[in-house]
A and B are shown apart, each in its own frame.
Chain A
Amino acid sequence: DQQVKQNSPSLSVQEGRISILNCDYTNSMFDYFLWYKKYPAEGPTFLISISSIKDKNEDGRFTVFLNKSAKHLSLHIVPSQPGDSAVYFCAASGMQAGSYQLTFGKGTKLSVIP
């Protein structure tokens, strides 16, 4: 039973356009959400996060939106650059429940075409 779902295994976007990566979750106890980026032969690197008390968090070209009622979050990358090509993982945790373990989705492979 997947508690964090990334339904798009892959996404291709032209350089300079917007990339939108989606993530759905089922566990209502999740209250903190993160996005990680992973290049081949490297570990995942933290990108951006959002607490459930917010609906938007922005960091440069990266913005994460959270819709709690729909249990849905998305990562927007604007403008997309070839160096953004990587696998993006959505992750969630239940900090209020005292659980810092992260539950990950299966990832979305983003390809930014020059």
Chain B
Amino acid sequence: DAGVTQSPTHLIKTRGQQVTLRCSPKSGHDTVSWYQQALGQGPQFIFQYYEEEERQRGNFPDRFSGHQFPNYSSELNVNALLLGDSALYLCASSLQGPGANVLTFGAGSRLTVL
């Protein structure tokens, strides 16, 4: 049973560019959340998708956007990259209902912005 898979694992971009990160949730899960983990910090909530809609959003600018597809997979897009966007981006999946906040995380996509 595959867990949460993310791609790419590492990538390097320059300021002003755009990036797309991808996530496949754990089999049977229908909800995807994205977190940003900066160096030395805990993961910080970006947003959550359920039924192909953004359900909740953390304190992140509109440069951060996402999408969920009918097969529950998800993308995170970041436009106009800043140096401060360098971080580990974690995708997590869950199932709505009891236990909805017990998340299964992927290994993350490490983004470096130069």
In the complex, which of the residues A44, A46, A104, A107 has the most CB atoms of chain B within 10 Å of its own CB atom? Answer: A44
**A107-B42 CB under 8 A given contacts A101-B33, A102-B101:** yes
Name B58-100 residues within 8 Å CB distance of A.
58, 90, 92, 94, 100
A46:B107 contact, CB within 8 angstroms:
no
Alpha-carbon gap, A102 to B94, bound state (A): 12
Query: In the complex, what residues of A have CB within 8 A of residue B44's CB?
Result: 104
| Per-residue A-contact encoding for B94-114, CB less than 8 Å = 1, 0 else | 100000111111111000000
Chain A residues in 8 Å Cβ range of B58: 101
Binds B, one of A13-21, A53-61, A71-79, A92-100: A92-100
Let me know if B27 is at the binding interface, CB within 8 A: no
Closest CB in chain B relative to A51 CB, distance in Å: 11
Q: Would you call B48 an interface residue if the criterion is a C-beta within 8 Å of the partner chain's C-beta atoms?
A: yes
Q: How large is the interface on B (under 10, 10 to 19, 20 to 34, 35 or more residues)?
A: 20 to 34
A99–B56 Cα distance when bound, in Å, is: 8
A-B CB contacts (within 8 Å), total count: 55
Q: Which residue of chain B is the closest to A104 with respect to CB atoms?
A: B42
Knowing A43-B90, A99-B56, the reply to whether A104 touches B43 (Cβ < 8 A) is yes
Q: Is the pair B101, A43 in contact by a Cβ cutoff of 8 Å?
A: no
Contact with B along A13-51 (1 / 0, CB 8 A): 000000000000000000010101000011111100100
Within 8 Å by CB of A102, from B103, B104, B107, lies: B103
- Given that A100-B48, A100-B94, A106-B42 are contacting pairs, would A46 and B104 also be in contact in the complex, using a CB cutoff of 8 Å? yes
Contacts A46-B103, A102-B43 aside, 7 further interface pairs with beta carbons under 8 A come to: A41-B107, A43-B107, A44-B105, A46-B104, A95-B101, A106-B41, A106-B42
Interface CB pairs A-B, < 8 A, 25: A4-B42, A6-B42, A34-B101, A41-B107, A42-B107, A43-B90, A43-B105, A43-B108, A44-B43, A45-B105, A49-B102, A89-B42, A95-B101, A100-B48, A101-B33, A101-B45, A101-B48, A102-B101, A102-B103, A104-B35, A104-B43, A104-B44, A106-B40, A106-B41, A107-B42
Query: Which B residues contact A (CB, under 8 angstroms)?
Result: 4, 33, 35, 40-45, 48, 56, 58, 90, 92, 94, 100-108
